[in-house]
């Protein structure tokens, strides 16, 4: 079952790190343009009656420092999770208001679920030990206080999931952390901050604290490309083993510059499809 809700906004692309290619065919479900009106898509896929719910966000067309792969990441992650039995809300190129709305809507779906999964591909940054996920309208973010007001706290997302869902909660962040917003007053702390995993949750970062995630040479970010490979054979495997299997290939491919990090706290083993 597929449902699509479309919101409209204006995105102005300017130069920055890891720009999108000049000739970049728009991924399926996305209508883009460098200075034209851009559609913000929220699409539901999979069985709506499933007790496994996921929100997958891919933010690519940033006003400052646009990226290359997050929409591909979101689409491919959605396909993978649907194959694992999830009902997925896929959201791309979200501004701050729409991103908060998508998270709030996700919370309303999580009562008495077996599994809740939140995945984000895009820019992330930390301030004072708190991690923030950036919406595409990051052009006005020029200092840390503005980041706190105009981005989504990863810690708050996890707390929301824990409050709404008594089952398993999975938080997966593939965030490019190099130069995520402009301004001379931003924090010089590189990478995302370590987060404590509450009971019944797993937190996975594309890179260890203090490292930047690489965008990759293909259609996906380096971390997400290997995570997608691992999820193809994830059924009936312990979730810790699935994420452990991503670490070695990413470290090797990056020449040691990027080492995925995860933390889990479960009372009993958890496997997609049962252990």
pLDDT in tens, 136-163: 999 888 888 899 999 999 999 999 999 9
pLDDT in tens, 90-134: 999 999 999 999 999 999 999 878 999 999 999 998 888 899 999
Quick check: is 270 in a domain? no
Quick check: is 238 in a domain? yes
- Using CA atoms, how far apart are residues 98 and 35, in angstroms rounded to an integer? 19
- Using CA atoms, how far apart are residues 32 and 25, in angstroms rounded to an integer? 9
Quick check: is 95 in a domain? yes
Q: What is the pLDDT of residue 195?
A: 86
pLDDT in tens, 34-69: 323 445 568 999 999 999 999 999 999 999 889 999
Q: How many domains does the chain have?
A: 1
Q: pTM of this prediction?
A: 0.84
pLDDT band at 198 (very low <50, low <70, confident <90, very high): confident
For residue 159, the domain's CATH number is 3.40.50.1460
pLDDT in tens, 236-245: 999 999 999 9
- Using CA atoms, how far apart are residues 145 and 64, in angstroms rounded to an integer? 17
Helix axes 96-108, 154-164, angle to 10 degrees: 20
Q: What is the pLDDT of residue 2?
A: 45
Residues in the chain: 275
Quick check: is 212 in a domain? yes
Cα radius of gyration (the chain): 17
Quick check: is 272 in a domain? no
Q: What is the pLDDT of residue 94?
A: 97
Q: What is the pLDDT of residue 208?
A: 86
Residue tagged 């503005």 (tokens): 146
Q: Which two tokens stand for residue 75?
A: 């689409």
Q: Which two tokens stand for residue 55?
A: 């929100």
Q: Which two tokens stand for residue 108?
A: 């309303």
- Domain range spanning residue 89? 3-15+23-265
pLDDT of residue 262 exceeding 70, the answer is yes
Quick check: is 76 in a domain? yes
């Amino acid at each position: 079952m597929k449902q699509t809700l479309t919101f409209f906004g204006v995105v102005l692309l300017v130069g920055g790190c890891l720009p999108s290619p000049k000739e970049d065919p728009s991924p399926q479900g996305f209508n883009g343009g460098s200075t034209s009106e851009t559609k913000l898509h929220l699409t539901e896929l999979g069985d709506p009656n499933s007790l496994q719910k996921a929100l997958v966000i891919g933010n690519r067309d940033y006003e400052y420092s646009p990226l290359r792969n997050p929409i591909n990441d979101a689409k491919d992650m959605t396909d993978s999770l649907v194959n694992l039995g999830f009902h997925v809300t896929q959201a791309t190129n979200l501004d701050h208001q729409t991103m908060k709305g998508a998270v709030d809507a996700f919370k309303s779906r999580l009562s008495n679920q077996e599994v809740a999964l939140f995945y984000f591909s895009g820019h992330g940054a930390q301030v004072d030990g708190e991690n923030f996920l950036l919406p595409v309208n990051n052009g006005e973010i020029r200092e840390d206080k503005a980041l706190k007001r105009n981005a989504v706290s990863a810690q708050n997302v996890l707390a929301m999931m824990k409050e709404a869902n008594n089952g398993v909660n999975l938080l997966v962040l593939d965030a490019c952390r190099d130069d995520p917003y402009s301004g001379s007053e931003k924090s010089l702390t590189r990478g995302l901050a370590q987060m404590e995993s509450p009971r019944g949750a797993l937190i996975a970062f594309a890179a260890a604290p203090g490292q930047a995630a690489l965008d990759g040479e293909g259609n996906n970010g380096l971390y997400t490309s290997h995570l997608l490979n691992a999820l193809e054979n994830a059924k009936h495997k312990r979730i810790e083993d699935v994420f452990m299997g991503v670490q070695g290939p990413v470290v090797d491919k990056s020449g040691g510059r990027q080492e995925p990090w995860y933390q889990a706290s479960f009372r009993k083993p958890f496997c997609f499809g049962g252990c």
